[in-house]
């Protein structure tokens, strides 16, 4: 039996309507051999967590450009914990000020990637830090 591939949910929380970066990351993950579920635009934290649980993902990767990262990202982590999905890793990327990253990590976001980070770096981080569920 083949080993289970890493399953990643790529999501766009909130009212952010720009999804080019999310689609680029989703494609990079797919090309790296990961199974990718893309939820599309304008997802609530509840919708993202529900999809992550239903799809049995190993990682939730959120793209956020709206400036609501300090509200939406911790909300996703909190709901994941409430729903018994604290074992799912959460990462984010987008226009996030460097000064906000320590607070996001303290809130349970495993890693934050800012503009200009290569897809190879992000894929490498996932490979180094995510173990697929059995």
Q: What is the CATH number of the domain that holds 36?
A: 3.40.50.280
DSSP 83-113: TT-TTSEEEEEES--GGGHHHHHHTT--EEE
38 domain residue, yes or no: yes
pLDDT digits (tens, 9 = 90+) for 14-23: 988 889 999 9
pLDDT digits (tens, 9 = 90+) for 72-84: 999 999 999 999 9
Token pair recorded at residue 105: 């990590």
81 domain residue, yes or no: yes
> With contact defined as beta carbons under 8 Å apart, do 46 and 76 qualify?
no
Number of domains in the chain: 1
75 domain residue, yes or no: yes
Domain that holds residue 98: 7-128
pLDDT digits (tens, 9 = 90+) for 31-44: 999 999 999 999 99
47 domain residue, yes or no: yes
- The mean pLDDT of the chain is 96
Phi and psi at residue 43, to the nearest 5°: -95, 140
2 domain residue, yes or no: no
What integer is the mean pLDDT of 89-114? Answer: 98
40 domain residue, yes or no: yes
Q: What is the pLDDT of residue 133?
A: 84
Residue that has been written with the tokens 């579920």 in this structure? 37
134 domain residue, yes or no: no
pLDDT band at 111 (very low <50, low <70, confident <90, very high): very high
Q: How far apart are CA 62 and CA 54, in angstroms?
A: 17
What integer is the mean pLDDT of 128-134? Answer: 91
121 domain residue, yes or no: yes
């Amino acid at each position: 039996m083949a080993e289970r591939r890493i399953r990643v949910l790529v999501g766009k929380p909130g009212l952010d309507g720009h999804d080019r970066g999310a689609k680029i990351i989703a494609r990079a993950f797919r090309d790296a051999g990961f199974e990718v579920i893309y939820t599309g635009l304008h997802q609530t934290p509840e919708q993202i967590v529900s999809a992550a649980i239903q799809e049995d993902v190993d990682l939730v990767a959120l793209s956020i450009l709206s400036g609501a990262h300090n509200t939406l990202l911790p909300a996703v982590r909190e709901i994941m914990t409430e729903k018994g999905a604290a074992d799912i890793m959460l990462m984010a990327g987008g226009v996030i000020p460097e000064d906000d990253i320590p607070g996001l990590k303290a809130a349970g976001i495993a890693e934050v990637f800012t503009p200009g980070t290569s897809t190879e770096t992000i894929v490498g981080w996932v490979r180094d830090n995510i173990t697929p569920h059995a």
